[in-house]
Amino acid sequence: MSAPRRILVYGVYGAGKSTLAARLAEHLAVPWYPVDDLLWQPGWIEVPVAQQRSRIEEVCRRDRWIIDGAYHGWRDVPLAHADLVIGLDYPRWRSFWQLLRRTMRRLRTREVICNGNRESLGSVLSPDSILVWHVTAFGRARRRMRAWQADPSGPPVLLFSKPAAFNDWMTTLPRRNPP
C-alpha cells in the first residue's frame, strides 16, 4: 500500500484517536486537523452543525489531511474523500480504561484540551459525561466501522483490535519528511 494522503481515524471516545492521528501525521508528514478544535468553542460551546460541516468540507478539499473523528452531521464528508479509514476497534474494557485514565489525568493536571477548554469534575459526573458517551456509543461505533469495512463502495478500512497491531502496521509505512 502506498502511503495514504487523506486519512480518517475513527473509534469510540477514549480509543486514542487523537494520539494515533498525531503520531501518524508526524510519521507521514501529513497535516492533522483535530476534530475537537473544529467542533468546540471556548466554554464548551458547540459549533453549530452546519458550521462544523463547512469546516470539515474545507479540510477535506485539501490534498493531504488526517482527521480524528466523524460525527453524524458530516460523517459522509470525510468518507467521500478519504484514501483510508483507520478504525480503532479495541475491546470495550481497553477503550474505557484509556478514557478513564485520560479523564482522571486531565482533571488532576487541568490540561487544556481544545480552544482553552478543560474537563471538570462537574462535566465528568454529568449525564453528558464523556464516560457516559463512551458506554452509549461503543456498540454503534463498532458496528459502523465494521459496516464501512464491509462496504466495497467506500474507502479501504483497516480495523485494529489492539494498539500493537496499529504500531506494527505503521512500521510498514515509509517515513516522510515535511514538505
pLDDT, tens digit, for every residue of 31-46? 999 999 999 999 999 9
pLDDT at 124: 82
Please state the rounded mean pLDDT for residues 115-137: 88
In the predicted structure, residue 179 carries a pLDDT above the cut 70: no
In the predicted structure, residue 178 carries a pLDDT above the cut 70: no
Please state the rounded mean pLDDT for residues 117-135: 87
Q: Domains along the chain?
A: 6-169 (3.40.50.300)
Distance between first and last Cα of the chain: 21
In the predicted structure, residue 54 carries a pLDDT above the cut 70: yes
| Helices 17-28/163-170 angle, 10° precision | 10
Q: C-alpha cell of 72?
A: 453524524
Across 77-91, 127-141, 159-173, least confident range: 127-141
Quote the pTM value.
0.92
What b/e string do you get for 99-120 counting C-beta neighbours within 10 Å, with b at 16 or more?
beebbeebeeeeeebbbebebe
Q: Please, are residues 11 and 95 in contact by the beta-carbon 8 Å criterion?
A: yes
Q: Compute the Cα dihedral for 24, 1, 6, 83 and give only its sign.
A: negative
pLDDT-based confidence at 122, cuts 50/70/90?
Answer: confident
In the predicted structure, residue 127 carries a pLDDT above the cut 70: yes
Mean of pLDDT over the chain: 93
Q: Please, are residues 11 and 145 in contact by the beta-carbon 8 Å criterion?
A: yes
Question: Each residue of 78-104: pLDDT tens digit?
Answer: 999 999 999 999 999 999 999 999 999
Residue with cell 470495550: 92
